[in-house]
Structure 1
Amino acid sequence: MINTRYSTISAVITCIGLAVTELAVAAPSIDGIWEPLRGAGTGHPSSEEVRLTPAGQAAFDSFSEENDPTLKCIMPGVPLGIYDPYPLEIIQQEHQVVFLHEHFHMVRRIFTDGRQAPENWWPTLGGFSVGHWEEDTLVVKTTHLSPENLVWHTGMPFSGAPDTYTVERYTFTDDRLMYTAEIFDPTYYEEPYVFSAGRVLAPDGMILEYECYPEYSGF
């Protein structure tokens, strides 16, 4: 009976191990440089399509271009930098996926090992990102975001309140990448702000040096 019991336990452990291995290899290979795919996705909605709260409308109405951090050569971060018209290099590692943007040389680390943001983690432009795979889709949740940001350059505001967060879904199919972002900011938006876009794998692509000159912005 003892040997049978241990044999059963061993079989269960083996099955679990195989299941975990199958899940681990389910993630597609996404290493490489991905360039914007023109015409893919919905892009950003117009201001008329967005349902703002009274506080959000007031923030939108008071917007001026000098409030755009990128015109001051400040990294766009999240959510502003999600929709990026420049090449993106993705490096897939065992416990994280790294996004290396040409734009402002922004670096994002998306932890895929099950960790959560440490207690008392301070808000930053890039926030704290964790992710997991759902078949061929990388799902990313980003929290701890700085209020010194925008949702979009048109003046779509971002409150950066403690309950703000973003959910991104990156779906990889062969040499195509489609992504959708939902921005949850109940202080400024009556419903999630949603946009989508796409990228194409560029085998010969390169990440070039990016330079920013704030004196050219006029502010």
Structure 2
Amino acid sequence: MPSLQTLGLTATLSVFPLTVLAHHGVSGQFDMSQSYEVTGTITRISLVNPHAYVYFDVADEGGDMTNMRCELTSGSLLRRSGWTEEMFEIGSEITIEGSPDRDDPTTCHMNEITFANGVTANRESTFGEDGTLDVAEREVVRADGTPNIDGNWAVANPRERGGGRPSVTLTDAGEAAIADASPEQNPRFNCQPTNIVMDWVFNGMVNAVEQTETEITLTYGFMDLVRTIHLDGDTPDAIEPSRAGYSVGNWDSDALVVTTTGFDEGWIMAPIGGRAGVLPNSAEAAERPEHPERPEGGRGPQPVKNSTELTVTERFTLSDDGTVLTRDYAFIDPLYLEAPIEGVDEVVLTTDAYRPYDCEDLTNERTE
């Protein structure tokens, strides 16, 4: 494994444009159009979910120390890519090129990190094996004649997954449902699952699939959501509403067709923007230290709620070599949506282990 370069952070270096996307950057917590370099001494590393952080002391011209932190990607994804706590030796120097937090001048979004040994890494860097499975070790078709989707699956490169939020038209009831929406209600900021579609590919976590002739169990790597696709019956009359809902599926030739109902009211697109989980009032904002080059606004795109009338349809298909699982999906909610929200995503077979998410959100650690 290549050694990592020390993170050296200099808090007053030049600002220059940088084109980088991350879910907090898109949401407005970080100003991704700006970048600076800072050098400091590592004091702590937390490889937790949903976001890992490295903490370090930075000295100003007068010798006064400020403890800063920079957000990495999720701890699970870092570990899957070969990152370890040992790379971040306490007391060693690091240099980070990052983008500023819009509200907190002691927090940044890490774009590139250089360790004391001279190794430079970015958010996409991996150390060790890439986890690709040898297809010769696997049967593509099961004994019962159905495609074999049993195993562990993850987005091949979550940062290259294109798209963005689709255009959505809400009904009057859908507009009323989001009238008081705020980031505090975002399930991800409270270590809760959002929905069965978005969480399947969010943050590149490893999902586990267990397949039998009568049911398929999906255990999500993000927020540990578990759902069962029932292959041997119809939807029962009485369902306890939940985030996972109740899924019924059948094999249509080589495609797994799934219909899920029985959802509780929740989010299709959760509210994001400003500081994740915090909307400071004017008095609070006035007391915060001024951040250089801080842009106006920072609110995220329109949130979308689902009602208990939501139906999600999914169609899973397996590639000929059995290594890519494609899902076409649709959110159908006649109460809140004027038209279905449709999309497609892909995950690839991996030998990486499923790991419990064990969410510990440190986003607001310095505002509490």
TM-score, length of structure 1 as denominator length: 0.76
Aligned to 1:153, which of 233, 258, 270?
270
Contact kept? 1:44, 1:194, Cα under 8 Å:
no
* 2:303 aligned partner, one-letter code: M
Q: Distance in 1 between matches of 2:311 and 2:165?
A: 19
Q: Would you tell me which structure has more helix in proportion to its own residues?
A: 1
Q: Any residues of structure 2 matched to 1:26-37 within 5 Å, and which? A: 26-37=145-156
The aligned residue for residue 98 of structure 1 is 217
Q: Secondary structure at the match of 2:202?
A: coil
The aligned residue for residue 345 of structure 2 is 197
Q: Distance in 2 between matches of 1:30 and 1:104?
A: 21
The aligned residue for residue 10 of structure 1 is none
Q: Distance in 1 between matches of 2:202 and 2:362?
A: 22
Q: Any residues of structure 2 matched to 1:139-218 within 5 Å, and which? A: 139-147=257-265, 149-154=266-271, 156-161=303-308, 163-173=309-319, 174=321, 175-202=323-350, 204-214=351-361, 216-217=363-364
Q: Secondary structure at the match of 2:345?
A: strand
Contact kept? 2:259, 2:314, Cα under 8 Å:
yes
Structure 1 unmatched runs, 5+: 1-23
The aligned residue for residue 60 of structure 2 is none
Q: Distance in 1 between matches of 2:197 and 2:172?
A: 21
Contact kept? 2:324, 2:348, Cα under 8 Å:
yes
Q: How far 1:61 sits from its partner (Å)?
A: 4.9
Contact kept? 1:80, 1:150, Cα under 8 Å:
no
* 1:160 aligned partner, one-letter code: S
Q: Secondary structure at the match of 1:26?
A: coil
Q: Distance in 2 between matches of 1:97 and 1:44?
A: 29
The aligned residue for residue 172 of structure 2 is 54
Alignment size in residue pairs: 190
* 2:270 aligned partner, one-letter code: H
User: Which structure exhibits the higher relative contact order, with contacts defined as CA atoms closer than 8 Å and separated by 6 or more residues?
Assistant: 1
Aligned to 1:116, which of 217, 222, 234?
234
Query: What RMSD in Å do the two structures reach over aligned CA positions?
Result: 2.4
Max Rg structure? 2
Q: Secondary structure at the match of 2:237?
A: coil
Contact kept? 2:209, 2:217, Cα under 8 Å:
yes
Q: Distance in 2 between matches of 1:44 and 1:82?
A: 16
Q: Deviations over 1:184-218 (max 9, x none)?
A: 1111111111121111111x211123121256446
Structure 2 unmatched runs, 5+: 1-142, 272-301
Q: Secondary structure at the match of 1:25?
A: coil
Q: Distance in 2 between matches of 1:70 and 1:116?
A: 32
Q: Deviations over 1:94-120 (max 9, x none)?
A: 20011111112211110111x123222
Q: How far 1:124 sits from its partner (Å)?
A: 1.0
TM-score, length of structure 2 as denominator length: 0.47
Q: Secondary structure at the match of 1:207?
A: coil
Task: Summarize the Cα distance change of 1:37–1:136 in structure 2 as closer, same or farther, 3 Å threshold.
Answer: farther
Q: Distance in 2 between matches of 1:127 and 1:101?
A: 14
Q: How far 1:44 sits from its partner (Å)?
A: 4.8
**Larger displacement relative to structure 2 (132-141 or 77-86):** 77-86
Q: Deviations over 1:4-49 (max 9, x none)?
A: xxxxxxxxxxxxxxxxxxxx83311111111113446x64533xx2
- Percent identity between matched residues is 27
Contact kept? 2:312, 2:329, Cα under 8 Å:
yes
**Larger displacement relative to structure 2 (119-128 or 207-216):** 207-216
Q: Deviations over 1:145-192 (max 9, x none)?
A: 000x2112355323323x321001111112111111101111111111
Q: Secondary structure at the match of 1:132?
A: strand
**Larger displacement relative to structure 2 (209-218 or 170-179):** 209-218
The aligned residue for residue 11 of structure 1 is none
